[in-house]
């Protein structure tokens, strides 16, 4: 089945810094999503981005489907950005999302 790998596993930033999170996947995908899991455990949808580039405020994402990777950019980070960021790709059967291990982001003031 499809493999999803995220890097780095951990990231520590000062408030105001920028960061790039990477997601590699082993096969072509019809669905690629980025989530932020907050300290209360809720999974927040950030982007649905099987290909191309999208922006939402300080966050943007790019997926290069032909090269099987996606990037999540966080600019001017804030303490509220802390948490775990997951990338997930739809399996070949189209019946389940396969998650990466996540990137744990800590932003300090």
Chain residues binding other proteins by CB under 8 A are 29-31, 33, 35, 41-43, 45, 48, 50, 86, 88, 90-91, 93-102
Q: Report residue 93: phi and psi, to 5°.
A: -75, -10
Q: Residue 32 CB, nearest distance to other proteins (Å)?
A: 9
Q: Which is nearer to other proteins, 7 or 75 (CB)?
A: 7
Q: Residue 95 CB, nearest distance to other proteins (Å)?
A: 3
Q: Kindly give the pairing relationship between strand 10-14 and strand 103-108.
A: parallel
Dihedral sign from CA coordinates of 104, 8, 19, 46: negative
Q: Kindly give the pairing relationship between strand 32-37 and strand 43-48.
A: antiparallel
Q: Which is nearer to other proteins, 57 or 94 (CB)?
A: 94
Q: Residue 77 CB, nearest distance to other proteins (Å)?
A: 22
Contact partners, residue 57, CB within 8 Å, separation at least 6: none
Q: Which is nearer to other proteins, 33 or 77 (CB)?
A: 33
């Amino acid at each position: 089945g499809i493999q999803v790998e995220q890097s780095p596993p951990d990231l520590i930033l000062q408030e105001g810094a920028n960061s790039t999170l990477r997601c590699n996947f082993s096969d072509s995908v019809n669905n690629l999503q980025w989530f932020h899991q907050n300290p209360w455990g809720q999974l927040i949808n950030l982007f649905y981005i099987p290909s191309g580039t999208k922006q939402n405020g300080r966050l943007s994402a790019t997926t290069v489907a032909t090269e099987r990777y996606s990037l999540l950019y966080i600019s001017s980070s804030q303490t509220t950005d802390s948490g775990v960021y997951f990338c997930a790709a739809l399996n070949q059967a189209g019946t389940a999302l396969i998650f990466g291990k996540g990137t744990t982001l800590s932003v300090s003031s």
